[in-house]
Chain A
C-alpha cells in the first residue's frame, strides 16, 4: 500500500483545516515523522503499490521522495517555531497546504502513469499557491498569480506532450498499458518523430515548473515572496518533482534511441538556465531572489548533467540531493535573517556574524556548500559533472558551464560577504531561536555526511535510477 505515503498527508492536511493552529502544528510534525517512516519502509521494499497501473516505486522516485520527506521533517520543525513568531492570518490553511503539498509531491514521486504524474504536478502548483500568498501582500499576490498562471500554462503543454507520446504509441501500434515502466519495454517501437515532439512539449512543460530558463520567469518571484519554509520546500522539493517528470521522459527517449536528441535539448536548457542564473545573481539586490536564481542555476546544472549522461548523470543525481539539502537550509537561514532584520534588501543587511552568529554559521556554510566547495557534497557532484562532460568530449558546453559557474560564484560571493560581514544599517528585530536553527544545521550536516560517507542503499538506488540509460560511476 505504497499509496498511503501520499494519502496520509492529504488526509491529515484536510483534517488540519478543521483543527486550531496549535493542534495543527503538532499534526504537521507528526505527519512529517510518519511520512519519513513510511518512506523508509518503502525504501526497504516493505510497501508495494496497490494500483500498479498508476503507481510504482521507481528508484529515482524513491530517491526524490526520501529527499522531500527529509527536508519536510526539517521544515516542519522550523515552521513550528516560525508560525509562532510571524503574524499569519490563516494558520490552518498554511498547515493544510503544507501537508497537501507534501502529499502531492509524494504522489509525483510515486506515479508511474504519465497523466497521473501530470495531474500530481499540476496539483502541486495548485496547493502550493496559497502558501505563497499566505501573507497577502501585494507582491505576494502578484507572485502567486504569475506562479499559477505560468505554471498552469506550462504544465498544460506537458499534457500535450504526453498526448503526442500516446500518438507515438498509436503509430507504433503498441497496445501496452500507458505507464513509464511498460513504455520503456516497448520504447523502440514508438514513432520517433512524435516522441521527439512529445519530449519537447514535456520538457517545456515540466521545465517551466522546474525553473529552466527561459520558462523560469515565475520562480524568483514566487520563491522570494513565499514565507521562508515554503520557499525552502518549493526550492528543495518541488523543483525536483518537476525534474522527475522530465527525467522519466528522458529515460523513455533514451531507451527509444533518441537519447542524443533529448540530451542535447537538456544540455541547452541547462546552459541557458545557468547563464540566466548568473546574469541575475550578479548584483542582485534581494537575497531571497538571489537564492531563487541560484536554484535556477542549479536546476540548469542538473539538466546539463542529465543531458550529458554517463558519469555526469550520476553527478546530476548527487547534485539533486545536495542542492535540495543546501538550498532548503539556505532558505531557512534566510528566513531567520528576514525575521531578524525585516528586510530582503542585501544593502540594508550586514554583520550577520555579529547579530545572528548562529545563523551566520548555517548561512555561510550554506554559501560554501552552494559554491561547490568541500566538505559539502555539491563539490563532488560538480566535479563529477565536469569530469563526465569532459569524458564525453563536450568541450564547448563544458566551457560555458564553467563560465557560468564562475560568474555565479562571483555574484553569490559578493552578496554573502556583504551580508555576513559588512556593516548593517538596520536594527535587529527578532533574535534567533534554536528551533529555527536546528533544521538548517541538520540539512547541512546531511550534505556533509553524504559527502563523507555514502550509505550503500543510497548508492545502489542512484545506480538503479541511472543505469537504464547508461549512467555509470566509471569512465
Chain B
C-alpha cells in the first residue's frame, strides 16, 4: 500500500514541477485537475481501510468531484472565455521556475527532516509534497502575471495546506461536515474569482495583473 501512496505523492510533486514549467494555460488547468485528484486520494491510501466509515467515502467522492472535476472545468471555462492569448506570460521564466521548484523541493526536504516530528511512517513524504506544493503555489502567484494563473496558484496553496492537514493530524477530531464547508468555500471562492476575472476581462480587455496597478499610493 505504501507504494501506492508514494506514487501518488510523486505524481503530485511531478504535477507541481510541470505546472511551474508549463507554457499553456489549458495545460496548466489539466495539471491542476490531476493534482486535485491525487491530493484528494492521498488520505484514503494513507490511512488504511479500517478507519473509513461511510461518511468518509461519500466525502472523498465529493472531494474528488470538486477538486478534480468541478474546479478544473470552471477554470477551463474561464480560460476559454477570457484568455485571448493562452500563453502564461511569466515574470520569471520557465526554466528558472523549474529550478526554483527544485530548490523549493530541497528546502522542503530539509525542513521536514529538521522538524523531527514523530510522524507515522510515510507521512514524511506527504509533508515534503505538501510544503513543496504550498511554496510552489505561492511562487506561481508571484511569478506569473496572468490573473488566472494566480487562481491556480491559490488552488495549489490550498492543496498543499490540505496535504499538511492530512499528514499532520490523526483525523480523529476532524468532522466531515466541517471539511465539507472548507471545500465549499473553496469552490465558491473559485467561482467568485471566475466572475471577477470575467468582469476584469470585459473591462480591461485582458485579465492580466499588469493592468491592475492603478490603485496605489
Instruction: Enumerate chain A interface residues (CB-CB to B < 8 A).
Output: 53-54, 113, 115-116, 118-119, 122-123, 125-126, 129-130, 133, 136-139, 141-146, 148-149, 152-153, 156-157, 159-160, 163-164, 166-167, 169-170, 175-178, 220-221, 224-225, 280, 284, 289
Contact = CB atoms under 8 A, between A and B. Distances in A.
A156 B161 contact: yes
B196 A129 contact: yes
Interface residues of B, number: 43
Nearest to B170: A170
Which of B141, B161, B200, B213 has its CB near the most chain A CB atoms (within 10 A)? B161
A400 B209 CA distance: 36
Contact of B188 (A126, A138, A156, A170): A126
Given A129-B196, A138-B203, A148-B192, A153 B165 contact: no
Interface stretch (B15-23, B39-47, B73-81, B178-186): B178-186
B182 A118 contact: yes
Contacts of B161: 156-157, 159-160, 163
A116 B181 contact: yes
27 contacts: A116-B178, A122-B185, A126-B185, A126-B188, A126-B192, A129-B196, A130-B192, A136-B199, A137-B203, A138-B204, A139-B214, A141-B200, A141-B203, A142-B212, A142-B213, A144-B196, A149-B193, A152-B193, A153-B138, A153-B141, A153-B157, A156-B161, A160-B134, A160-B164, A166-B173, A166-B174, A170-B170
Nearest to B171: A166
A167 B154 CA distance: 23
A126 B189 contact: yes
Contacts of A177: 173
Determine the main DSSP class of A at the interface with B.
Answer: helix
A166 B174 CA distance: 9
A159 B182 contact: yes
Contacts of A139: 214-215
Contacts of B195: 130
A119 B185 contact: yes
A280 B217 contact: yes
Interface in B143-188: 147, 150-151, 154, 157-158, 161, 164-165, 168-170, 172-175, 178-179, 181-182, 184-185, 188
A119 B181 contact: yes
Contacts of B204: 138, 141
B182 A119 contact: yes
Contact of A166 (B169, B179, B196): B169
Given A129-B196, A163-B168, A156 B173 contact: no
B114 to A, nearest CB: 13
Given A136-B203, A145-B200, A170 B154 contact: no
A198 to B, nearest CB: 11
A129 B199 CA distance: 12
B178 A115 contact: yes
A408 to B, nearest CB: 15
Nearest to B178: A115
Contacts of A152: 154, 189, 193
Contacts of B192: 126, 129-130, 148
Contacts of A136: 199, 203
Contacts of B217: 220, 280, 284, 289
A369 B204 CA distance: 40
Contacts of B179: 115
Q: Which 3 A-B pairs have the closest CB atoms?
A: A119-B181, A142-B212, A221-B215
B28 to A, nearest CB: 17
A246 B157 CA distance: 21
Interface in B197-217: 197, 199-200, 203-204, 209, 211-215, 217
Contact of A142 (B178, B193, B214): B214
A107 to B, nearest CB: 10
